[in-house]
Structure 1
Amino acid sequence: MPETAAKAPQTAPCQPDYTRGERQCLHVEELGRTWKLHRTADMETLWENLGREEFGEDERMPYWAELWPASMLLCRWLGRNRELVRGKACLDIGCGLGLTGIVGAWLGARVVGMDHQWPAVYFSRENARLNGVDGPLWTRMDWCAPAFKPRAFDVMWGGDIVYETRFYHPLTRLFRDHLAPGGRIWLAEPRRSVSRPVWERLAGDGFAVRKLLTEPVPVEGYEVTVNLWELSLPE
């Protein structure tokens, strides 16, 4: 398992404790079973209750509290390609409520799930136990300052993480520094015209970029069309 130099996660003093209170339980039907995910509230509710000081200097929204369609498509892809992750060191970037990391571990991958926000790590760990899955290793870590060994991961994945320009350079550094030779990166995101330049930019910066599939994902009575992309680096 890749090593991490991260300290034990703690709730930041200026942030409310999202881990307390009654649980909402989400149910996700994927890969022939029902996955249960706990949280205390959805992102919109948590956001409405944030004060200016609690919002933080870097404007960290409680994105972790949502179950994103991109993550559900990633789960399907992992299930269809379990032989590519079984026994491999894998990194779940921005683990949120932990769904894709839990599914990856259930399929036999050696998963590290990382998120910048402590409640994501807390609920991911709780949700792994709730679903009877051993692991992954959950760590609070900022992708702007990752503490992994170089070339530590055979596979990386993330659901809807390339949504702001300011994340481009930190994420590409993470990819270059910590992807093992011959490794793969899977990124899922809702189909958006504004995201198209990102994939062209990645190709221009030396990544091999390939769209793997596009599928509709049902979400609360409607469907979201999600793209899945694969990145790799020349050996």
Structure 2
Amino acid sequence: MNQLSEYAPRLEVPLCGRTWTLDRAADLETLWEAMVDDDLDDDERLPYWTELWPSSLVLGEHLFANKEAITGKCCLDIGCGLGLTAIIASWLGADVIAMDYEFEALRFARKNAALNNVPQPVWTLMDWRFPAVRAQSVDLMWGGDIMYETRFVEPVLTFLDHCLVPGGRAWVAEPNRNVYNEFKAQLDKRGWMSHKLRTEKTTAIYEQPSKVTVNLWELSR
């Protein structure tokens, strides 16, 4: 990937043997500065969705490498953002529900699916504290860099419990954040198996001195 030295409203992302076109809003810093006090409620609705995080790149490649595991399966993308991993999975033949907490993220994600000529996932405005999917109905779930605050640990664990079919799996990519240690400890307490599939150094979309380390985990019961 050619790294960017400044913001670009359209990204061309080479991944999984093709190039993906992703449109997005202003960069994170610009959107953050434009926020008013009313936006900063208890949920701190910060516009992280407008960036393409390294964890999503690692997840996308993992989906591509595991096409047989997702084709024809009911899959749920947690915090889909610009939609890259949901779009890749849909291209690979998965039945994808893609959720985000922000409507604007879903608007761009839907546009991006059309730009890349793939079947539209079911784009869903959802709060993981209030699941809008049937209990034990999802075969596979995944999320990229979703565990960045301690307050997310309990609701995400409960969400996983609610959604996955018996024997279902979840893939989580995370960039070595300390909070993931707490998440993993709680997984262990609840009887989940947590297996690190690999650690990868990947290139961020913006120029920076070093690559980003991303861990990819598989969670199951």
- Structure 1 residues 45-84: aligned runs within 5 Å: 45-84=30-69
Q: How many residues align?
A: 211
2:163 matched to 1:178? yes
Q: Is the 8 A contact 2:140 2:169 kept in 1?
A: yes
State the one-letter code of the partner of 2:158.
R
Q: Tell me which of 12, 15, 19 is aligned to 1:34.
A: 19
SS class of match (1:213):
strand
- Structure 1 residues 205-220: aligned runs within 5 Å: 205-219=190-204, 220=206
2:211 matched to 1:223? yes
2:73 matched to 1:88? yes
What's the offset of the Cα at 1:193?
4.1
Q: Is the 8 A contact 2:80 2:100 kept in 1?
A: yes
What's the offset of the Cα at 1:56?
2.9
Distance in 2 between the 1:44 and 1:228 partners?
27
Distance in 2 between the 1:139 and 1:163 partners?
22
What's the offset of the Cα at 1:109?
0.4
What's the offset of the Cα at 1:195?
2.7
State the one-letter code of the partner of 1:118.
F
Gap regions ≥5 residues in structure 1: 1-22
SS class of match (2:56):
helix
Distance in 1 between the 2:35 and 2:84 partners?
25
TM superposition score normalised by structure 1: 0.87
- Structure 1 residues 1-235: aligned runs within 5 Å: 24-219=9-204, 220-221=206-207, 222-233=210-221
Deviations 1:176-221 (A, max 9, x none): 1110111110000002345323212211221111000111111123
Q: Which runs of 4+ in 1 moved over 4 A?
A: none
In angstroms, what is the RMSD of aligned CA positions? 1.3
Distance in 2 between the 1:206 and 1:123 partners?
37
Identity of aligned residues (%): 50
Which deviates the most, 193-202 or 26-35? 193-202
Residue 11 of structure 1 corresponds to which residue in structure 2? none
